Amino acid sequence: MTASENGTDLAVLDQLDPTFTPTGPAVRAARAAGSCARTRDGYAVLRHDALVALLADRRLVQGSHQLLTVQGVTEGPIVEWMNAILLSIEGADHARIRRLVSRAFTPRSVAALRPRMRAIAHDLVARFPAGRMELMGDFARPYAAEVLCELLGVPPGRRDAFRGWADDLGLVFSYQVRAHLERIEAALRGLDAAAEELIAARRADPGGDLLSELVAAEEDGDRLSSAELRLLVSTLLFAGQDTTSHQLGHAVALLLDHSEHWDLIAGRPDGAERVVEEVLRVAPTVPATGRIALVDLDVDGIPVPAGTRMSMFLAAGNTDPATYGPDADAFDPTAGRAVAPLTFGAGVHYCLGANLARAELAEALRALAGLGTITADGAARWRPALGITGPDNLPLRWSPRATSSGASRASSPPSV
């Protein structure tokens, strides 16, 4: 379907259609025709060069919270939360909070956490000697949750509850919010109350965890308020678990179809990092994000009025042949792509946790590669294609990898 726009025929993409996929034939055809397509509530941006420019353009502001408006959810606690989190705020408030928080996510800070990530991943895979696991429930969710809970100092007895809340709150970024609103709001209430308890505990008795750093974060006499800390904790606890666990699910699902790359992970020091980068490009767990135009814009000849919602199709940009070549859709960690994927965004809203997510994914894949030969053990069940997407269930079977002499081998956990 197309719509005429100032004499230009634009494809129309229906993101609310349950069969819609952000890298499907309709999106590829629309990208071939131009940088933009029409949507129910504005425009979709599809080409890599246009996405890079617009994601960094300060004449647009973050608009993911408009996902609620287009679904008719215009008031209530979840709307207030979405409008207040770091992802949604702009200007001086956004810059101030990022400045105070960013020191906890530097490459050096993340590198110091890798031994603990490695130990958690190997401890989890060691629980499956029978050769079967359900990746998401047995490994991906517990792994991502354990890393985040450890970072924030969540007591061990509370971690299962945090994991459930994070999964439910992640549905706020889908197009099924109304169907799950009660579940989402219950998760937000649980996380808010737990965050309040954690913050009070860290104020009274600081430790070596990330939350203690956030409580103490100060610059020129400026500190995070209790409300800001509570929002940050609730955001980190869902975003750092839900996105990472489902991105890991995407990685393993791809490797089931490209099993030769398990050897790349197991056999090269940088193998896991190469695979992670290619997974982030080809199968981002957040395939689209939103922006709102503050002023009238022209995007490759298409007039965009102020107030228009722009859906930034990161997944389409990540597989744009104009940037990544004719094999842009192919999953190939050995290709040596010169351009980094857009999965973590760009500009002032570039994901603070990008370094952490990359490290977590690499350590998880190394632990899984040590199991041996991994194959599917039944059909996967998937989340909707937009929002935070990925497998909800991914049953696996594994067996030790044979060496050239015929003996099997399995890796043991590295010392930490």
H or E segment and range at residue 289? strand 289-293
239-285 residue pLDDT tens:
778 889 999 999 999 999 999 999 999 888 899 999 999 999 999 99
Residue 188 has what DSSP assignment? H
The larger pLDDT score, comparing residue 54 to residue 198, is at 54
pLDDT given at position 410: 47
Judged by average pLDDT, the poorest of 11-25, 36-50, 276-290, 398-412 is 398-412
Average of per-residue pLDDT across 189-216: 84
Q: How far apart are CA 281 and CA 274, in angstroms?
A: 11
Q: For the whole model, what pTM was predicted?
A: 0.85
**How many degrees, rounded to 5, is the angle at CA 176 between CA 240 and CA 311?**
70
Cβ count near 294 (within 10 Å): 14
Closest CA to 49 of 284, 295, 302, 318: 318
pLDDT given at position 155: 81
pLDDT given at position 4: 53
pLDDT given at position 274: 95
The larger pLDDT score, comparing residue 50 to residue 336, is at 50
Q: How confident is the model at residue 408 (pLDDT cuts 50, 70, 90)?
A: very low
Average of per-residue pLDDT across 324-345: 93
Q: What is the mean pLDDT of the chain?
A: 86
303-316 residue pLDDT tens:
999 999 999 999 99
The larger pLDDT score, comparing residue 144 to residue 162, is at 144
Q: What percent of the chain has pLDDT over 70?
A: 93
Average of per-residue pLDDT across 116-135: 92
Residue corresponding to tokens 């705020």 = 89
Strands (E), 46-175: 60-62, 132-134
Q: How far apart are CA 83 and CA 231, in angstroms?
A: 11
Average of per-residue pLDDT across 221-241: 79
Q: Which residues, in sequence order, are CB contacts of 236 under 8 Å at separation 6+?
A: 148, 152, 210, 353
Average of per-residue pLDDT across 332-347: 91
pLDDT given at position 405: 43
pLDDT given at position 406: 45
pLDDT given at position 170: 77
Q: What count of Cα atoms within 13 Å lies in the side-chain half-sphere of residue 301?
A: 11
Q: How confident is the model at residue 403 (pLDDT cuts 50, 70, 90)?
A: low
Domains of the chain by range and CATH?
2-409 (1.10.630.10)
Q: How confident is the model at residue 231 (pLDDT cuts 50, 70, 90)?
A: confident
Contact 391, 376 (CB under 8 A): no
What's the Cα-to-Cα distance from 242 to each of 107, 145, 184, 274, 339, rounded to whole Å?
22, 8, 13, 22, 26
pLDDT given at position 34: 94
Cβ count near 214 (within 10 Å): 22
- pLDDT exceeds 70 at position 111: yes
pLDDT given at position 184: 92
H or E segment and range at residue 292? strand 289-293
Contact 232, 336 (CB under 8 A): no
Q: Which residues, in sequence order, are CB contacts of 342 under 8 Å at separation 6+?
A: 48, 51, 52, 55, 314, 317, 318
Q: How confident is the model at residue 416 (pLDDT cuts 50, 70, 90)?
A: very low
- pLDDT exceeds 70 at position 402: no
* The pair of three-digit structure tokens given for residue 49, joined into one six-digit string: 């060069």
378-397 residue pLDDT tens:
999 998 888 889 999 999 99
